[in-house]
Structure 1
Amino acid sequence: MIIDAHCHVWPDEIARKVLADRPVGLDPVHDGTLDGLRRTMDTAGIDMAMTLAVANVGRTVRRTNEFIGRVDRSRFVPFGTVHPDLSVEDNLAALRDNGVVGVKLHPLFQSVAFADARTREILAALAENDIPVIAHVGSGGDADQNERGAPKSLAAMIAATPGLRLIAAHYGGYQVLDEAERWSVGTDVHLETSWPPSMGTLPPDRVMSIIRRHGADRVVFGSDWPMTDPATEIAAVKALGLTSEEERGVLGDNLARLLRIEPPATA
């Protein structure tokens, strides 16, 4: 079973506008729509994907969660949005009312900082309600954006939020792998493998060292669709030299366990 932990989606008309602006300076390779993601998954042999939707401002939290809450649950796991401009209660209600099972935090696009007391208050509530979170960690923006999601602040946030099921995207430090190895590797999080434009640009020996030090059972596959092609990213994972058990875990079993997804029955 292959599960992609990192797929950004938007309503069709919004996807065109967002991707035309080349978010974080990358060239998208797919269209950012739900139909486009389903076609990509079928081509790459992906069984399920976490579909991520992010509200940059508080006033769009509810309608963003309404959109993501309507996805096909047989293929997609809806991860919606929260925002510190809203109360904890309003954020939880926007998730609950739309059946959204998890949250994406994106410090590059939201005014969300790991060190902010408002963010930590929301995360404490998510932990209390057993709602998992995936967060962009590391760089990709300007100095203020990068500081909001710095690996050092992630480590402190995790220490202050016991019980939070958190996936740290990009090995816990996009574009700042030295910081990721210092502050994210070995912490009580699941690391995710995406590294646009491709994980294949990273030295395989270094990636293997990170996975083994962190624990291969706490690493999950993510592509960062539509900014990368998942088939290429799956091939990069398979080329690392993991054991067959480790490879199955990274590509799907670990995430299924974290999200409590029952694998399909085998004959």
Structure 2
Amino acid sequence: MIGSFTIVDGHVHTFSSKEVSLKVLQSFNKIYNIEFENPGTGTIDDVLSKMESEGIDYTVMANFASTKILHANNKWTLEESRKHPNLIPLVSFHPDMEASFTGLLHEYISEGAKGIKLHPMAQGFDPKDKRLEGVYEHCNDIAFPIVFHCGRVANARLNSFSDVETLEPLIARYENIPFVLTHMADGNVDDVLRLAQYYKNVYFDTSIVISGYPPIRETNEPSWLDDSIPIGVINEIGAERLIFGSDYPWGSPAWDLKRFMAMKLDDDQKKIILGENAVKLFLNRTYN
């Protein structure tokens, strides 16, 4: 905790070892032309250590992987969350997985999954693929959260699969799914205001766009550098629509928390964004 605030980092990527972390970070950084130094490794020990030193109560593991190892990666994520109850597990899907998606989703939920993370641009699939309809329908039936990567990565855009225009039809169709769009919908203020107005089931995570980490602020075009922008957005759409997230180990929760705590927001707004919304979405829910 920080003071009386429960802190939840709603967007963190975790890896099973330093070797795996190094391989993933090097590959991802090369693909997306990320030249700044990662502030950590994202191993479980690294994340837990950062949580203790920075006052973070819970971390949401927003993991995904290549299709071949996606199921195994989901199972590992769930296993780590059982070992460490302050790690909240999301699972991922890909249309090319050779399995019954609804069966897998039931299995994952029974093992503790608290939501789904999809990164269509990096995973290389159209999120409107009909093979995923069963997943969306079941999530809609039980109001199971889905976190979508939204927008570019470090100014690189490999395809349109994570664009707002691609994701919006799903938000409109599945009204009972809480959808979290990462990176404040690619930092487009007009999109944030419009989506928040028209859809009650959409939330936005703050990662990268409302960043305090100097290398990101210096290199990422969509980042909101002037606090007046996020403060204006928050006052317009309500703190209830934002989830604090860092995108560690690319972003820095320490720097981001420092920025949020210094913003000219009232304590209730900060408490809602920094923890209460994520607790409601990912912790205070049960599924049969």
Q: Structure 1 length normalisation: TM-score? A: 0.86
What is the rounded CA distance, in whole Å, between the counterparts of 1:142 and 1:183 in structure 2? 24
**Native 8 Å contact 2:151 2:157 kept in 1:** no
**Native 8 Å contact 1:131 1:165 kept in 2:** yes
**Native 8 Å contact 2:242 2:277 kept in 1:** yes
What is the rounded CA distance, in whole Å, between the counterparts of 2:110 and 2:284 in structure 1? 21
Q: Which runs of structure 2 are paired with 1:7-18 in the superposition (5 Å)?
A: 7-12=12-17, 13-18=19-24
Q: Which runs of structure 2 are paired with 1:145-164 in the superposition (5 Å)?
A: 145=159, 147-164=160-177
Q: Which runs of structure 2 are paired with 1:1-267 in the superposition (5 Å)?
A: 1-12=6-17, 13-23=19-29, 24-26=32-34, 27-57=37-67, 59-71=68-80, 72-86=83-97, 87-93=100-106, 95-96=108-109, 98-140=111-153, 143-145=157-159, 147-171=160-184, 173-174=185-186, 176-178=187-189, 180-181=191-192, 184-186=195-197, 187=199, 188-195=201-208, 198-199=211-212, 201=217, 202=224, 203-261=226-284
**Native 8 Å contact 2:179 2:203 kept in 1:** yes
Instruction: Give structure 1 stretches of 5+ with no counterpart.
Output: 263-267
What is the rounded CA distance, in whole Å, between the counterparts of 2:168 and 2:260 in structure 1? 26
* SS of equivalent residue, structure 2 residue 79: coil
Kindly tell me: are residues 197 and 252 of structure 1, through their superposed partners in 2, closer, same or farther at Cα, counting changes over 3 Å?
closer
What is the total number of aligned residue pairs between the two structures? Answer: 258
* SS of equivalent residue, structure 1 residue 5: strand
Q: Which amino acid aligns with 1:14?
A: V
CA positional deviation for 1:207: 1.1
What is the rounded CA distance, in whole Å, between the counterparts of 1:22 and 1:121 in structure 2? 30
**Native 8 Å contact 1:6 1:51 kept in 2:** yes
**Native 8 Å contact 1:196 1:227 kept in 2:** no
Kindly tell me: are residues 130 and 197 of structure 1, through their superposed partners in 2, closer, same or farther at Cα, counting changes over 3 Å?
closer
CA positional deviation for 1:255: 1.2
